[in-house]
């Protein structure tokens, strides 16, 4: 599934990435990446700490 590949590419990058960087890293079509990112946004699995760049949402560790 494209969303899983996109999320894996974000995790591997270790920093906020733009859609174009994900296209380069995964080899997926830009439209597929955009669709997968929209799905991940709706599911709350990715966040944007800086404008136009995204990263996986970090789970809070603690109590």
Domain locations along the chain: 2-56
Give the whole-angstrom CA distance, residue 14 versus residue 5. Answer: 15
Per-residue pLDDT of the chain (63 residues; tens, 9 = 90+): 899 999 999 999 999 999 999 999 999 999 999 999 999 999 999 999 999 999 999 865 555
Structural contact between residues 25 and 12, judged by C-beta atoms closer than 8 angstroms: yes
pLDDT of residue 62: 53
Model confidence, pTM: 0.86
Give the whole-angstrom CA distance, residue 8 versus residue 4. Answer: 6
Eight-class DSSP state of 51: T
What class is the 2-56 domain?
mainly alpha
């Amino acid at each position: 599934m494209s969303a899983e590949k996109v999320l894996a590419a974000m995790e591997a990058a270790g920093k906020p990435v733009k859609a174009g960087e994900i296209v380069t890293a995964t080899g997926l079509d830009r439209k597929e990446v955009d669709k997968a990112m929209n799905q991940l946004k709706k599911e709350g699995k990715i966040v944007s700490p800086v404008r136009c760049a995204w990263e996986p949402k970090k789970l809070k560790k603690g109590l």
